[in-house]
Amino acid sequence: MSSASRRDFERPLTETGKKQLERLSKTLKANGLSFDLILCSNAKRTEETAKIIQEQLPTNQTKFLPELYESGPSTILNLINHVSDEVDQLLLIGHNPGISAVTAFLSGQDFISLKPGMLAKLEIFQDRWDGVGKNTALLTEILY
């Protein structure tokens, strides 16, 4: 990892980002959302993001994965495809451009640009995670 990448990897959330995520997690709780599994990059700011969300929404399991840092859509899709079918609600916490690209790919959109702290809610039209792929989801909401 280059020194610039290392600095980015170790960069914490800003105070504005923390407040935005606290507001978002309260909105998720008010909407009755919960997660069985969180797959999260192991970068400092994404770990902080997971912690803030879990303060409002306790989660059965969280996995911090180095492969989610600076990953492309094919890596992210591979991780999704290997989720246990016992998981009903999945939250991915990652980085752009990969997270926006996989959101567009799954939902059949031409282009989606998620900004930091935004959450794309997808309804998946598959019974098994290994069947998730192109055009297998509906983008139902973007929250921030």
pLDDT above 90 (res 83): yes
Q: How far is CA 139 from CA 45, 72, 97, 107, in A?
A: 25, 19, 17, 6
| Count, residues in the chain | 144
Rounded mean pLDDT of 3-21?
89
Write out pLDDT tens, residues 106-128: 999 999 999 998 999 999 999 99
Write out pLDDT tens, residues 23-50: 999 999 999 999 999 999 999 999 999 9
C-alpha 75/C-alpha 97 separation (Å) is 12
Rounded mean pLDDT of 50-77?
95
Helix (H) or strand (E) holding 142: strand 137-143
Tokens 């989610």 -> residue: 68
Give me the number of domains the chain comprises.
Answer: 1
Domain ranges, residue 118:
3-143
C-alpha 109/C-alpha 98 separation (Å) is 14
pLDDT above 80 (res 2): no
Q: What is the CATH number of the domain that holds 114?
A: 3.40.50.1240
Q: Are 39 and 47 in contact (CB under 8 A)?
A: no
Look at residue 4 in the predicted model and tell me its pLDDT: 66
Q: Are 136 and 124 in contact (CB under 8 A)?
A: yes
- The candidate with the shortest Cα–Cα distance to 68, out of 22, 9, 109, 113, is 9
Q: What letter represents residue 22's amino acid?
A: E
Average pLDDT of the residues of the chain: 94
